[in-house]
Homo-oligomer: A and B are copies of this chain.
Amino acid sequence: MPRKLRMGMIGGGLGSFIGDVHRKAAGLDGMIDLVCGAFSSTTEKSKASGKALFLPEDRCYGNYEEMILKESKLTKDIRMDFVAVVTPNHMHFKPTKMALEHGFHVVCDKPVTLTLEEAEELYLVIKKSGKLFALTHNYSGYPMVKQARAMVMNGDLGNIRKVQVQYIQGWLATNKEHEGHKQAKWRVDPKRSGIGGGLGDIGTHAENLISYVTGLEIEELAADLTTFGKGRILDDDGHLLLRLENGAKGIMSYSQIALGEENNFAIRVYGDKGSIVWKQENPNRLVAKWLNEPNKIYTPLGHDLYPEAIEACRIPKGHPEGYIEAFANIYKNFALHFMAILDGNNIVKANYPSIEEGLKGMRFIYASVESNKNNAKWTKINK
């Protein structure tokens, strides 16, 4: 008998941006129920969040250890199936590891861990556990991003020559971290964010998008990172030269201090047969450019889409789907995979980012920081 999956959440207390996004994304397709949580650092706060989310008090825990231990003792028809880890970066590794080792699957926010070492250890933990692990590189969930990838994979663009990515935001153009802005505070704090500031927050999304759309890995990079915000330690802006497999060249600009920019994430991929342009702020539109034809505009459930794009759409054309829907595609594919396993179905495969993408992201951060320390010297990405 098919049933909805039961999710427990670690982090994501009231007021958290990303916790709320995870809950909405998980719930959108009616396949997942939130059943418990360790939302905050104290039992009291956690229960307050749980109450606002209509959870019973006894499923609101004071910390993740308590949650994992107590939930594992509940009967199979009640206890959570998987954990969503939506804490700051320094709190990804331990809860994920513990959850996996207690038999729970995990959906985790990115970057996957605080350090590269943690990510490498987590890789082993996951493989050993045999549990599912999804990493929420949510921008790969947009239908038009999936169409772009499918066009590259099917050779429509020919050999990829040039990739241009920008991910520019302005929310840290001023020192919001001194004004009680909770998210700003931990994002600029190396103890909670790791060695990359903007790099970890948005640079990794940019790296993932390049890799997802083109299927090409970055072989080496030269990074010129900057810290514009007074008193900050971590990068809040970066410019990178990239060299990809097969001779393709790339360039990346990311920023948290690009004043006035909201969430301006865009990619351009140029091949020797065709090119594509996609922009996150108007995501339901993919422009493809061709050698001997006018430019074409692809839209969700519009003409000439690949199945990978179609299956990521929910509603008729012209009815915009947004950030939550794209995020929900990670959860939906995770849930479909999970349900197939419950069902004994081996055909459905993982169609969501996982630890491999997490490792790539961490290696990208480390290589960028190293390159920057060496005055933007070319630095290989270790594999």
A77 proximal to B (CB < 8 A): no
Q: Using a Cβ–Cβ cut-off of 8 Å, how many residues does chain A contribute to the interface with B? A: 93
Number of identical monomers bound together in the oligomeric complex: 4
Whether A54 pairs with B34 at a CB distance below 8 angstroms is no
Enumerate chain B residues within 8 angstroms of A376, measured Cβ to Cβ. Answer: 222, 241, 376, 378
Instruction: Name the residue on B nearest A252 (C-beta).
Output: B251
Q: How many angstroms from the CA of A224 to the CA of B247 in the assembled complex?
A: 12
Q: Which residues of B contact A228 (CB under 8 A)?
A: 161-162, 272
In angstroms, Cα B166 to Cα A19, docked, is: 36
Residues of B within 8 A of A258 (CB): 162, 268, 270, 275
Is A2 an interface residue when CB atoms closer than 8 A count as contact?
Answer: yes
Q: Does A322 contact B (CB under 8 A)?
A: yes
0/1 interface trace, chain A 248-279, chain B, CB 8 Å (1 if under): 01110101011111111000101111110000
Whether A3 touches B54, Cβ cut-off 8 Å, given contacts A260-B274, A273-B259, is yes
Q: Is A24 an interface residue (CB 8 A)?
A: yes
- Docked Cα-Cα span, A23 to B325, in Å, equals 14
Q: Does A302 contact B (CB under 8 A)?
A: yes
In the bound complex, do residue A262 and residue B299 qualify as a contact, i.e. CB atoms below 8 Å apart?
A: yes
- Choose one: B54, B251, B275; the contact of A260 (CB below 8 Å): B275
Q: Which of A163-184 contact B (CB under 8 A)?
A: 164, 166, 168-171, 173-174
Interface check A128, CB cutoff 8 A: no
Contacts of A253 in B (CB 8 A): 162, 164, 251
Residues of chain B within 8 A (CB-CB) of A325 are 322, 324
Please encode chain A, from 283 to 322, with 1 for each CB lying within 8 Å of some chain B CB and 0 for all others: 1100111111111111100111000000000111111111
Do residues B259 and A270 form an inter-chain contact, with CB atoms below 8 A? yes
Q: What are 20 residue pairs bridging A and B, where the CB atoms are less than 8 Å apart in the complex?
A: A21-B315, A28-B28, A30-B53, A162-B253, A162-B255, A162-B258, A222-B376, A241-B376, A258-B268, A259-B272, A260-B270, A260-B274, A260-B288, A260-B290, A261-B275, A263-B317, A264-B318, A284-B322, A294-B299, A314-B324
